[in-house]
């Protein structure tokens, strides 16, 4: 067991060193958005959970469900004005100590108007990001599980083309008697090659995450707490904490923000899962950073808040969630889970 623990630590360290040593590539929503409606409703991708979850396993292979084999999940996000993402995850039959899965994500960036060099209208074109991945996890003992997920993909936007290749690392622990789970993850770590046009070449922006989940013996809910983007302390846009100048008196107005608290909370998401029966669960989440960055003239509205639910219809497990990522309104997440063998003729 100690050999596996040391290997896991070296794996995490190797990814961080490799990413720090290279240049920066282009960020993609395909890595930032939680494809799973449950993750979206809880404030972001779940990295610590008391239960297995094939939807969530697409973003963390430590959640592969060993009790149900051969299941497929399909998740869709209606992000904004024709921009959407579809994610498909399939759990492979286990062999040996390793649990395995394959999947893909496709981000449709919509249709764009084309123009030639003289400014005349030309043929319209579409753009998108796509990736495929293979993930595996292994239980070290009754508490600890390690996982890794390799991915490859590309971006195309008319004459702009880039390719990706990377690997993600996960460490997860469950103390079932205490109803406590903890997870550590490095996601999105990889390299981008600019193959055509002005696409940059360099490392993909990675995300270091630390998560906790806590259940209670005499309460029908669980708490999900996560800190993300821990590789960078200050996530606020430039000038957030600068003093301002009164346009009438020209006096300097001191910034009243609690800088340390604001910087800390921009890393934090919190969510609650409420059990509403054997086949139904309701979720609520809050993302402080999203709420702060979507604030316009101090009008917060529902920014940063998200919610969703899971229920069963026949042989399908259905999930739906609403979360706000932009000023245009909330985005809808829909997901289903089923086993194709249930529909086979006897």
Where are the domains positioned within the chain? Answer: 2-113+124-230+267-338
12 contacts 22 by C-beta, under 8 angstroms: no
In 3D space, the residue among 85, 74, 76, 75 whose CA is nearest the CA of residue 110 turns out to be: 85
What residues form DSSP beta bridges with 221? 274
196 contacts 18 by C-beta, under 8 angstroms: no
**Tokens linked to 154:** 């590309």
pLDDT given for residue 100 in this prediction: 93
pLDDT given for residue 166 in this prediction: 96
pLDDT given for residue 274 in this prediction: 95
CA 213, chain centre distance (Å): 16
Domain 2-113+124-230+267-338 homologous superfamily, CATH: monomeric porin ompg (2.40.160.40)
Task: Return the number of other C-beta atoms located less than 10 Å from residue 241's C-beta.
Answer: 13
pLDDT given for residue 5 in this prediction: 47
Rounded CA-CA distance 282/272 in Å is 8
Task: Return the number of other C-beta atoms located less than 10 Å from residue 109's C-beta.
Answer: 19
pLDDT given for residue 299 in this prediction: 57
**Tokens linked to 321:** 């969630």
pLDDT given for residue 143 in this prediction: 95
> Could you tell me the sign of the dihedral formed by the alpha carbons of 125, 126, 129, 133, in that order?
negative
Give me the residue label for tokens 């084999």: 69
326 contacts 315 by C-beta, under 8 angstroms: no
Per-residue pLDDT of the chain (346 residues; tens, 9 = 90+): 544 445 444 445 455 544 444 445 556 788 888 889 999 999 999 999 999 999 999 999 999 987 777 889 999 999 887 789 999 999 988 778 899 999 999 998 877 777 766 677 777 777 889 999 999 999 999 999 999 999 999 988 877 899 999 999 999 999 999 999 999 999 999 999 999 888 889 999 999 999 999 999 888 999 999 999 999 999 988 888 887 777 888 788 888 788 899 999 999 999 999 998 888 999 999 999 988 887 754 555 678 889 999 999 988 999 999 988 877 778 899 999 998 887 765 5
């Amino acid at each position: 067991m100690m050999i596996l623990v040391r290997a896991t630590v070296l794996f995490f360290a190797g990814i961080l060193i490799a990413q720090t040593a290279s240049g920066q590539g282009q960020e993609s929503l395909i890595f930032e958005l939680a494809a799973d409606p449950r993750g979206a409703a809880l404030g972001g991708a779940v990295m610590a959970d008391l239960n297995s979850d094939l939807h969530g396993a697409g973003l963390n292979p430590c959640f592969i469900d060993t009790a149900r084999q051969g299941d497929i999940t399909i998740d869709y996000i209606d992000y904004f004005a024709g921009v959407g993402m579809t994610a498909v995850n399939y759990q492979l039959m286990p062999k040996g100590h390793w649990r395995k899965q394959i999947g893909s994500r496709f981000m449709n960036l919509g249709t764009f108007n084309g123009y030639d060099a003289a400014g005349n209208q030309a043929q319209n074109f579409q753009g998108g990001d796509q990736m495929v991945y293979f993930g595996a996890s292994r239980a070290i003992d009754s508490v600890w599980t390690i996982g890794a997920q390799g991915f490859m993909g590309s971006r195309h936007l008319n004459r702009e083309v880039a390719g990706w290749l990377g690997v993600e690392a996960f460490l997860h622990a469950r103390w079932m008697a205490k109803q406590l789970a903890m997870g550590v993850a490095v996601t999105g770590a990889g390299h981008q090659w600019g193959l055509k046009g002005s696409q940059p070449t360099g490392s993909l922006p990675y995300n270091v995450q630390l998560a906790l989940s806590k259940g209670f013996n005499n309460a029908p809910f669980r708490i999900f707490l996560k800190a993300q983007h821990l590789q960078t302390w200050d996530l606020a846009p430039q000038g957030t904490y600068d003093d301002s100048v009164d346009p009438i008196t020209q006096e300097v107005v001191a910034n009243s923000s609690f800088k340390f608290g604001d910087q800390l909370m921009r890393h934090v998401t919190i969510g609650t899962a409420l059990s509403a029966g054997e086949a139904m669960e309701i979720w609520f989440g809050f993302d402080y950073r999203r709420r702060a960055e979507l604030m316009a003239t101090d009008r917060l509205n529902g920014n940063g808040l998200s919610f969703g639910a899971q229920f069963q219809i026949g042989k399908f497990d259905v999930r739906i969630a609403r979360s706000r990522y932009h000023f245009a309104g909330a985005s809808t997440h829909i997901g289903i889970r089923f086993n194709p063998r249930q529909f086979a003729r006897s």
